Amino acid sequence: MHAKTDRIEAAYRTLGLPPGATLRAAKDAFRERVKSLHPDCTPPTDTTLSALSDAIAAMRCLESLSPLTIDLEVTASAALRGATRLVSHGLRRDFVRIPPGTQDGCVLDAVGDRSARITIRVREAEALPIANGEAPVSIETFVRDFAAPSPAARFARWIRGPRSAA
């Protein structure tokens, strides 16, 4: 088994939970364990202080290594044609590849990190209201046509950018 998986399973055992329990269940079990082991409630002995220290270490392990679950909202057109998105949660950043034809509620793994579970939420593209009775334009169309830098602008930015010594 993987060392990370072993540490997570040991943390679940320390808190008295089955492997794969939610982080919310782990926090609830941690609070109950700390309440029963805290020196204000129980006389401090080597055994109780050691068990309290183990519970704290288990909770820290689960918070840092537990599977990341995120809802990622994408437009219907991006779900239909496929896309790649960067998902951020705290200090963690992962890429997720959305295959063409992805449906709402599909659960995907992040690229290179099977512990990150991303649930895809498909939404309709929002339309920008346009004056003068013209048809509304989707945000994606607006960004592609007006806000996205042209290839010439990207090349100019690359030329002006800092150069490495290599």
The CATH 2.60.260.20 domain(s) of the chain lie at 68-123
Residue 28 has pLDDT above 60, yes or no: yes
Distance CA 132, CA 57 (A): 63
**What is the model's pTM?**
0.46
CATH hierarchy code of domain 68-123: 2.60.260.20
The CATH 1.10.287 domain(s) of the chain lie at 3-65
Q: What is the pLDDT of residues 76-109, one digit of tens each?
A: 888 888 888 888 776 777 888 889 988 888 888 8
Cross-strand pairs, 108:
118
Q: Are 9 and 19 in contact (CB under 8 A)?
A: yes
Give the pLDDT of residue 130: 53
3-65 CATH choice from 3.40.50, 1.10.287, 2.60.120, 3.30.1370:
1.10.287
> E strand or H helix at 20, and its extent?
none
Q: What percent of the chain has pLDDT over 90?
A: 8
Q: Are 98 and 120 in contact (CB under 8 A)?
A: yes
Quick count: other Cβ atoms within 10 Å of Cβ 152? 8
